[in-house]
Amino acid sequence: MRLNHILICYAAGSAASLLGLLLWYLVSHSHLINLLSLPNFGNWSITLAQSRLLWGGLWGLLFALPLLKRHPWQRGIWLAIFPCMVTLWTYDAWSISYFFSLHPLVVIIDHLLWGLACAWLIRYASKK
């Protein structure tokens, strides 16, 4: 495994997290969040952005592992399952009202978009 590929995976994970952060920022400031009764994720701050970039990069290192050498889109979807499971497990997972809200669906969509963006960025950056 080359160091170049590991760095590309980390950077792609961070960039995909940044894209997701910008998407949810736009959604939270639109009227769509009120129309669909989507959960508001609170105040946006530099601390939130830094943690999303760090964790996105660390989860992006999953793409450096030699598993699932399939089509990049399938790989992005399958590898997005791991951070999605961790997020659903750690954030208020034991509350019954949590599972009867749209919050788990928002988390799943967010992580699937992250996985697809990360796979695309890795494919784009790895081309010579």
Q: Higher confidence at residue 46 or residue 7? A: 7
Contact predicate 118/126, CB 8 Å:
no
Query: 94: pLDDT confidence band, cut at 50, 70 and 90?
Result: low
The answer on pLDDT for 120 being more than 80 is yes
The answer on pLDDT for 70 being more than 70 is no
- Range with the poorest average pLDDT among 1-5, 38-42, 102-106: 38-42
Cα 20 from chain centroid (whole Å): 7
The answer on pLDDT for 29 being more than 90 is no
Q: Determine the 3-state secondary structure of 12 from DSSP.
A: helix
Amino acid identity for residue 10 in this structure: Y
The answer on pLDDT for 32 being more than 80 is no
Whole-number pLDDT of residue 12: 94
Q: Higher confidence at residue 54 or residue 40? A: 54
| Domain extents in the chain | 3-126
Whole-number pLDDT of residue 128: 61
The answer on pLDDT for 31 being more than 80 is no
Q: What does the pLDDT average to over 87-93?
A: 74
Contacts of 54 (CB under 8 A, 6+ apart): 14
Three-state SS sequence of 13-74: HHHHHHHHHHHHHHHHCCCHHHHCCCCCCCCCCHHHHHHHHHHHHHHHHHHHCCCCCCCHHH
Whole-number pLDDT of residue 95: 66
